[in-house]
Structure 1
Amino acid sequence: MKRELHLQNLVYGVAALNIAGETIKEISIKVSQYFLDFLESDFKRQQAPRRRIILQNESGFRSATRVAVYPGLQHNLWQIMGKRSEGDPTLKFAPRIYARPITNTLRVIIKEQVQALTDDNLLSVRAAVFADAEASRGLAVENPEEWVDRIRLKLADEIRQHVVAPLLALLDGPLSQQSYSVHDSIYSAETELIEIVAARLDVILPEVLSRFLATGENGELIELLESHLALDDVRAEVLSYFENFMAADAFLEFRDLDTYAMTGEGLQLYLYIGQLKYGGHAYPLFYVPIEVTRGDGGYRSRRPCRRLRAAH
């Protein structure tokens, strides 16, 4: 039996297809009757429908993704399914076009944890950067640019250790539960957060370090560390980052499905429409095979068959 990979759409807005109500009614009655006959049969003598909705296979690979959690993608799919057009209808997939933000509850938790940051966290960063700049100043004569880069790396490492790492440790649980891929996981957020927190200081730091190296006067460096690594600014920048944080991206899920389909033997992508649940299993009502064209900017999914097929 040919194995199949299922891209399912667990949606019930059949009216969005713009198909006559009587036609939908007739199709629904026939499909429902089939499932009713199956449910009322003796399972020892009757075989279950061969098409089942399976989100993860026995090897642990994701074999399906839920479309309903991405409202924009769900809407566009229904538009394509209901539109009469020449040629094969297509849908473009690209990063962050169809993404799912974090929940409001988690947003509140993040805000509380960010507000829990204190000036002590930043004081440790300032002190470590200043101490390293003073201690290593004598070594900077031979290669000043390398010395400046060293201090900038020290700044990033101290921000990671005293600001970002403690914050992410508190958010690790709730964020990891919502994130789908490594790209959107809590650990991937670390690098971006370090850059965001350090950005205001890092832009001016090389210039101030150059003057400190030339004159030995440290007053300007101390003032810069205090003014450009202030608590209120850091809190605002971190909160702004999480306002746009995406818990999941449909493109990444679809990419993994397509990769799995390419590496497996005899696998085919399908769009499943509607489902019935019984005995711990989910069965699709209708299915449509889809083809994928890969490009630099993402994927283009094509529906070569313009007819819905009942999942008998």
Structure 2
Amino acid sequence: MKRFIKPVMAMVLAAASTVAAADDVVVGGKNFTEQQLLASMTAQYLDGLGYDVDKRAGMGSAVLRQAQENGQIDLYWEYTGTSLINYNDITERLSPEETYSTVKELDGEKGLVWLEPSDANNTYALAMREDDAAERGIETISDLAAAVNDSDDLTFACNAEFYAREDGLRPLQQEYDFRFARPQIKRMDSGLVYPALRDGQVEVGLVFATDGRIQAFNFRVLEDDKGYFPAYALTPVVRQETLDANPELAAQMNQLSALLNDDTMAGLNAQVDVEKQTIEKVAESFLKENNLL
């Protein structure tokens, strides 16, 4: 009898272990406010749904993507334009819909599933102080290009990633036919660009379109009149194996994605960066307001 019970108990324990493993989800995030907010929001949301969540935020883009491809990260929020250009080497100019369908297909071949995109498009943008831009008569990036070509008194702040990436500064300057001289470029952490621009340490700064500090600091976002920057629709991306183990996860994440748009993300980001609330508290409050926690 004992010999019979032990194998049965072993099978029961193995089954229980399999169920538990299926509910393990590793949530990743990049190293800036919006991504840390989304990682916290996702982790709290899934934890409330009964998943065993391991949150690993604060990672660089390339490292995070590689970790997901290697199976170390199950789920994180990515931007369609980033995957299109940086991970799939597509430089052709596509519509937002084409961008999404392209990365969905190409990443699907790598075992990564793009769920429903949100209405938040956190594209890159160039910004100036409103009064300075008005005084110089700069409304578009073409206006900026003309001003840079006419003078060397405009300095530009951006992060090191934008300085080097394939959809970054060099091809932007080629598209608009201008060039900042090396001394005019100030590389710094993304979060430091905003106060540097606000305080007059630079005249132009690289910003993210959904950052709450744009409005709070009275910046003018320059019109991308040549349509250089691709769409960067914020979308949850999940490993296929993770979805296979958790069939309800796609619908659950799509429910969260449907709540996000430009204004919502800008407001959430401002609560952290301007009002100095904690990331965890802002994420928790948003989930509770929307009956997801």
In which range does the TM-score fall when normalised by the shorter chain? under 0.3
Q: Tell which has more relative contact order, 1 or 2 (C-alpha 8 A, sep 6+).
A: 1
- The alignment's TM-score, normalised by the length of structure 2, stands at 0.25
Larger radius of gyration: 1
